[in-house]
Structure 1
Amino acid sequence: MIYLDYAATTPMREEAVETYIQATNHFPGNPSSLHDTGSEAEDLFSTCKLKLAELLNGEKNGIFFTSGGSESNDLAIRSIVKGHAHRGRHIVTSKLEHPSVLGAFSTLEEEGFRITYLPVQPDGLISLSVIEQNITAHTILVSIQHVNHEIGTTQHIQEIGALLKSKRIPFHCDCVQSFGKLPIDVKQLNVDSLSISSHKVGGPKGVGAVYINPNLHWESVYKLATHQQGFRPGTINVPGIASFVTASKIAINEMTDHQQHYLLLRKKWTDLIQPYSKSITIEGAQQLPSIVGMTSSNVQGQLLMLECNRRQLAVSTGSACHIGQQNPATTMTAIGKTVDEANRFIRISFGPNTTEQHLDQLYEALLPYLQLKNKIAL
């Protein structure tokens, strides 16, 4: 199988697997236990917090580990909102956000908070002036993703963060797709809170992290939780966390080389499909090079995905977190596409092992559909 779905998940790096095994074998204790075995596990956990904070240019005591990006988004948002609810009940976001963010805000709406969903430009970008126009004296949180999970659009996070910092409004940023692929410095980006995920950078599944500026007030959504300053209950997954940090360090060290590789692959793919621009359109602007979201003019995305799968090519019809839902990817409707157009969406995403030959094979698989001239419902 040729894997072209790295935005959904990535294979574990060998170094991350080795770290997991070593941590499991040599640090078996619960870091909350008071005996020496527990203390050794706590020391490793503490080191992991420090190393991850350094990668983000943040503070060690701002790091909290979770079960993944979705839980990171949910807990960060709800913890910050709970800590600031006395100041107001208005929140600003967009329909571009990941389902975990939209789900958190849907729950908060049921609890009486007012959510403003910002309009989005057809290219997937959110205007800074639109954000400013929708801020009120009662706004207690703005949440805007860094890189969109379906079309790869990269928002102007630094400028957004500077605006919100000047107005003393907390800013949460979903960095699950950008971490390890773009430089992330929480101070330079003016981000108060962010979420990241292990399996997007070659670490194990079931591990993620939240960074919250230690100067920002938050309150736990759990009663009587004691782990990680009460942020999240449950025994800490030390081997998974150590493996995550190992993978993160490697991804960041290799980031520049990989980006050049992805730019070449993106140009290759763009050149291949350019003669069929009436049949398929690349969506978005200012994209992360490794994510290519496309809309067919005449063929259902699911059919294209199944045809690729038949030919041993793994592609996607959007975020894996949408699978099983009746509605199409919210990104597409957010940028003004109809439901029918959204159902004709397909996404490919590159990884370090993706080659130009892989794209040639993808092109051959899709060519019969690219050559279709009449709009037909398949």
Structure 2
Amino acid sequence: MIYLDYAASTPMSEEALAVYVESAKKYFGNASSLHDIGTAANELLTICRKQIAQLVSGEEKGIYFTSGGTEANVLAIRSLAYAHRHKGKHIITSSVEHASVHAVCAQLEQEGFTVTYVPVDRFGQVDMKALERALTEETILVSIQHANSEIGTIQPLKQIGELLKKKQIVFHSDCVQTFGKIPIDVKQFHLDSISISSHKIYGPKGVGAVYMNPRVRWHMSLPNTTHEGGFRPGTVNVPGIASFTTAALEAENKRNTVQQHMNELRRYFVEQITQKQLPITVFEHPTDQLPQIVGCLVHGFEGQYVMLHCNRHGIAISTGSACQVGKQAPSKTMIAIGKEEDEAKQFIRLSFGVRTTKNDVETVVSVLEQLQKERMST
């Protein structure tokens, strides 16, 4: 089967898998235990913490490991909101965030916080003027994703960070789709907190991390938590974290080569559908685009039908974020960029990975072309 859903999840790399197996054998101890086996596990954890921190230009003591990107978003946002509520109860996020961010913001609204969802332009990029207008003396936290998981638009984090730093407002970003793909510098972007995940970069599922600026206050989500400095309860997944770190280092080493390949695949896809004059609209920002995520409208068909048609032909694509699968509502990103509901339901997402080839692209274009021909003949 041709797999074109890398934005949802990736297969583990051979190196990450080997490290997981070896770590599970040798470092099975609880990293909080005081005996030698526990100490060995903790020492490995310390190395991983340092290496992950270096990849985002952060500090070792700012890394807290989690069960993945969703938990990282939830814990980061809740812990920051409650730590700073003495200053105000206003939070700002965007209309195109991941479902986990919208969910925790909705929960905080029920708990007495006020949330503003700033709009985006037709490319899916945050309206900076709207963001600045939304800031008040009560604003304590802004959470803006680094790149959209459905269309791959990259947000101007540095510009946002500079604005928020002047106003001394805490800045969090969901960097799950960008970590290991494009540079993330928490200091240059003035980020106080970010969320990252393992299974988006060829590491194991069930592992992620939050980077929290050590100089920024955060509130313990569950009282008397001892693991991860009180940030997250539960025994730390040392083998998973070692494997995640391996995958992250591997992604960083290959980043330039891989991204060049992603750009080539994207250009080739656009060239192919243009040459064949297929009624498909590809969404992309002119300059700030994550190339491996290709969001499209296949005019005349609902996205679910296109996805099932591709699946019958041995191609795996999606109709948006995997966290929204099964919901009948149209893509929130499509609605946010101004599409009507019926048009938004025509959305599909292709996402490329290291194993994707030009032949794979040709095959999916051929299948999409066949779909159009079938429609014309009926």
Q: TM-score, with normalisation over the residues of structure 2?
A: 0.97
Stretches of structure 1 lacking an aligned partner (at least 5 in a row): none
Counterpart-to-counterpart distance in 2, 1:54 and 1:283: 33
Partner of 1:340: 342
Deviations 1:82-133 (A, max 9, x none): 1001100111111200000000000001111111111111111112222111
Identify which range, 293-302 or 273-282, moves more after superposition.
273-282
Counterpart-to-counterpart distance in 2, 1:224 and 1:327: 40
1:346 match: secondary structure: strand
1:225 partner amino acid: T
Deviations 1:339-368 (A, max 9, x none): 211211000011111100001110111103
1:119 partner amino acid: P
Counterpart-to-counterpart distance in 2, 1:171 and 1:236: 26
Identify which range, 73-82 or 269-278, moves more after superposition.
269-278
Counterpart pick for 1:316 among 299, 315, 318: 318
Deviation at 1:39, TM superposition (A): 0.7
Partner of 2:170: 170
Q: What are the residue-to-residue correspondences of 1:254-333 with 2, within 5 Å?
A: 254-275=254-275, 279-285=279-285, 286-333=288-335
Identify which range, 363-372 or 202-211, moves more after superposition.
363-372
1:35 partner amino acid: H
Counterpart-to-counterpart distance in 1, 2:193 and 2:102: 17
- Whether 2:33 is the aligned partner of 1:36: answer no
Deviations 1:118-156 (A, max 9, x none): 111111111222211110000000010001000000011
Deviations 1:6-32 (A, max 9, x none): 000000011101111111111111011
- Whether 2:156 is the aligned partner of 1:179: answer no
Deviations 1:186-237 (A, max 9, x none): 1111111000000000100000000010000000111221111111100000
Partner of 1:246: 246
Counterpart-to-counterpart distance in 1, 2:208 and 2:333: 23
Q: Is the 8 A contact 2:118 2:127 kept in 1?
A: no
Partner of 2:81: 81
Identify which range, 213-222 or 127-136, moves more after superposition.
127-136
Partner of 1:7: 7
Counterpart-to-counterpart distance in 2, 1:371 and 1:292: 22
Counterpart-to-counterpart distance in 2, 1:100 and 1:211: 17
Deviations 1:53-107 (A, max 9, x none): 1111101110000000000001000000010011001111112000000000000
Counterpart pick for 1:366 among 333, 344, 368: 368
Stretches of structure 2 lacking an aligned partner (at least 5 in a row): none
Q: What are the residue-to-residue correspondences of 1:44-55 with 2, within 5 Å?
A: 44-55=44-55
Counterpart-to-counterpart distance in 2, 1:142 and 1:109: 14
Counterpart-to-counterpart distance in 1, 2:98 and 2:33: 36
Counterpart-to-counterpart distance in 2, 1:199 and 1:14: 13
1:64 match: secondary structure: strand
Partner of 2:71: 71
Q: Is the 8 A contact 2:278 2:369 kept in 1?
A: no
Partner of 2:61: 61
Counterpart-to-counterpart distance in 1, 2:302 and 2:151: 17
Q: Is the 8 A contact 2:152 2:294 kept in 1?
A: yes
2:142 match: secondary structure: strand
Q: Is the 8 A contact 1:73 1:100 kept in 2?
A: yes
2:339 partner amino acid: K
Counterpart-to-counterpart distance in 1, 2:345 and 2:276: 19
Deviation at 1:278, TM superposition (A): 6.9
Q: CA RMSD in A?
A: 1.4
Deviation at 1:283, TM superposition (A): 1.7
Counterpart-to-counterpart distance in 1, 2:84 and 2:236: 27
1:246 partner amino acid: T
Partner of 2:197: 197
Counterpart-to-counterpart distance in 2, 1:188 and 1:370: 47
- Number of aligned residues: 375
1:199 match: secondary structure: coil
2:198 partner amino acid: S
Q: TM-score, with normalisation over the residues of structure 1?
A: 0.97
Counterpart-to-counterpart distance in 2, 1:51 and 1:335: 37
Counterpart-to-counterpart distance in 2, 1:298 and 1:20: 45
Partner of 1:356: 358
Deviation at 1:369, TM superposition (A): 3.3
Counterpart-to-counterpart distance in 1, 2:284 and 2:174: 18
1:150 partner amino acid: E
Pair 1:372–1:282, CA change in 2 (3 A): farther
Partner of 1:106: 106
Percent pairwise identity: 51
2:199 match: secondary structure: helix
Q: Is the 8 A contact 1:322 1:328 kept in 2?
A: no
Counterpart-to-counterpart distance in 1, 2:160 and 2:278: 35
Q: What are the residue-to-residue correspondences of 1:18-33 with 2, within 5 Å?
A: 18-33=18-33
Counterpart-to-counterpart distance in 2, 1:278 and 1:111: 48
